[in-house]
């Protein structure tokens, strides 16, 4: 388990992490989300003892990381995949790590096979692609068979097969009762991998809850209805206490619906079964009845809207996507603030550069 208590970190006058407290429980996959500069990497570095907190404490399996006598058997971490001597081979790198804890050479071979690096194990790391570097970083984290795993952007550079492998690996490890803590900017992947989420923005915890609870907390929830009897159904829905909105259709959708004399409405305040029953009693034919809810990406964007430090412009409207400007008054860009265990196989991302 990982436990942070009032954890804070300053870099000069910059407050990177601001008195955060959280627990990462064993047996589930906990995702760590936040905009660039939110404090995710700094928090992970403090967990691993690489950065000293300005105040507060963080424990891994009951004590600070530096106090563990055999740290690789307690915590395995992938924080920077390229932090490896480029002149060594993958096998040499793993053997050096194994020697620090007197792990048998057979364990090196096991993690090489597990991560799909067998065919490149004796090639120099300096020639590895980004995806291969990620696999080697994961192999290093797994070397001591630790009870706690910390992965910072583990799918970065991986092809779809590799992404699926990491997802299955994370869930398998959590299923064994281990603590799995990972960050990612891929919301669709996090929605499939994580059970619980911790969201950080401008150094503060914005959310600490199960994935589904976070998604359901977002504002968007309605039922999309397509029917040739829009007027009759709208009247019945409103009489039953529902709210009807007529969306602006896309050009293709408008053409198809018009040809079939079908209208589309969005209904909130009533569930899909209730709308179906109203359609039946109103004698209205339904062509579509689809419950719509926010995705994790939409919930995340809504939650972190005021915490984004990198501001962009919507290319469709030429408007800023956040309320803060992206440029200074002088026109210059604003400076940014700071079975078995799944086995991988190298595919498109696995060759040397």
Q: Which two tokens stand for residue 213?
A: 């609870």
- pLDDT band with cut points at 50, 70 and 90 for residue 216: confident
Q: What is the number of domains present in the chain?
A: 2
Same domain, 265 and 192: no
- pLDDT band with cut points at 50, 70 and 90 for residue 302: confident
How large is the average pLDDT for residues 68-72? 94
Residues counted in the chain: 353
- Residue 227 in any domain: the answer is yes
How large is the average pLDDT for residues 116-122? 94
How large is the average pLDDT for residues 7-17? 95
pTM of the model: 0.78
Same domain, 86 and 23: yes
Q: Is 210 helix (H, G, I), strand (E, B) or coil?
A: strand
pLDDT beyond 80 at 120: yes
How large is the average pLDDT for residues 300-308? 85
Q: What is the CATH number of the domain that holds 114?
A: 3.40.50.300
How large is the average pLDDT for residues 138-152? 96
pLDDT tens per residue across span 158-194: 889 999 999 999 999 999 999 999 999 889 899 999 9
- Residue 300 in any domain: the answer is no
183: left (phi over 0), alpha (psi -120 to 50) or beta: beta
Q: Single out the residue in 277, 293, 309 at which a domain terminates.
A: 293
Residue bearing the bigger pLDDT, 312 or 20? 20
Domain region containing 48? 2-211+342-350
Same domain, 230 and 89: no
- pLDDT band with cut points at 50, 70 and 90 for residue 330: very low
How large is the average pLDDT for residues 285-293? 93
pLDDT confidence of residue 323: 42
pLDDT beyond 50 at 326: no
How large is the average pLDDT for residues 107-112? 96
Q: Is 30 helix (H, G, I), strand (E, B) or coil?
A: strand
Mean pLDDT (the chain, rounded):
87
Same domain, 112 and 227: no
For the chain, state the CA radius of gyration.
Answer: 25
Same domain, 166 and 233: no
Using alpha carbons, list the distances in angstroms from residue 96 to 9, 76, 89, 99, 140: 32, 15, 11, 5, 10
HSE, side-chain direction, 13 A CA sphere, residue 208: 10
Same domain, 241 and 181: no
- Residue 335 in any domain: the answer is no
Q: How many helices (H) and strands (E) does the chain have?
A: 12, 15
Q: Which two tokens stand for residue 236?
A: 């019945």
- Residue 67 in any domain: the answer is yes
- Residue 43 in any domain: the answer is yes
CA pseudo-torsion sign 180, 185, 188, 189: negative
pLDDT confidence of residue 217: 82
What 8-state DSSP symbol labels residue 335? P
pLDDT tens per residue across span 236-274: 999 999 999 999 876 556 555 555 688 999 999 999 999
Distance of CA 261 to the CA centre of its chain: 42
């Amino acid at each position: 388990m990982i436990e942070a208590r009032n954890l804070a970190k300053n870099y000069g006058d910059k407050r990177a992490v601001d008195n955060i407290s959280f627990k990462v429980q064993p047996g589930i996959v906990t995702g760590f989300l936040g905009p660039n500069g939110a404090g995710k990497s700094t928090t992970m570095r403090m967990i691993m003892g690489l950065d000293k907190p300005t105040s507060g404490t963080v424990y891994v399996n009951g004590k600070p990381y530096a106090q563990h006598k055999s740290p690789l058997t307690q915590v395995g971490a992938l924080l920077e995949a390229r932090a490896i001597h480029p002149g060594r081979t993958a096998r040499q790198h793993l053997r050096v790590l194994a020697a620090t804890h007197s792990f048998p050479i057979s364990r090196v071979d096991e993690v090489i096979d597990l991560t799909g690096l067998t065919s490149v194990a004796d090639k120099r790391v300096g020639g590895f692609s980004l995806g291969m570097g990620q696999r080697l970083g994961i192999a290093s984290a797994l070397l001591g068979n630790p009870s706690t795993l910390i992965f910072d952007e583990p799918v970065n550079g991986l092809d779809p097969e590799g992404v699926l492998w990491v997802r299955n690996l994370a869930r398998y490890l959590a299923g064994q009762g281990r603590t799995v803590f990972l960050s990612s900017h891929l919301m669709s992947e996090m929605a499939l991998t994580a059970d619980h989420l911790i969201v950080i923005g401008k150094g503060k915890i914005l959310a600490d809850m199960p994935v589904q609870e976070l998604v359901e907390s977002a504002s968007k929830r309605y039922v999309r209805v397509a029917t040739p009897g829009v007027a009759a159904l709208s009247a019945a829905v409103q009489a039953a206490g529902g709210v009807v909105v007529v969306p602006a259709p896309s050009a293709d959708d408008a053409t198809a619906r018009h040809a079939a004399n079908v209208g589309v409405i969005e209904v909130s305040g009533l569930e899909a079964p209730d709308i179906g029953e109203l359609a039946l009693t109103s004698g209205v034919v339904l062509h579509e009845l689809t419950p719509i809810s926010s995705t994790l990406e939409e919930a995340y964007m809504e939650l972190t809207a005021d915490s984004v430090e990198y501001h962009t412009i919507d290319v469709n409207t030429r408007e800023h996507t956040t309320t803060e400007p992206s440029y200074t008054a002088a026109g210059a860009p604003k400076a940014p603030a700071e079975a078995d265990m799944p086995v991988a196989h190298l595919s498109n991302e696995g060759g040397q550069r």
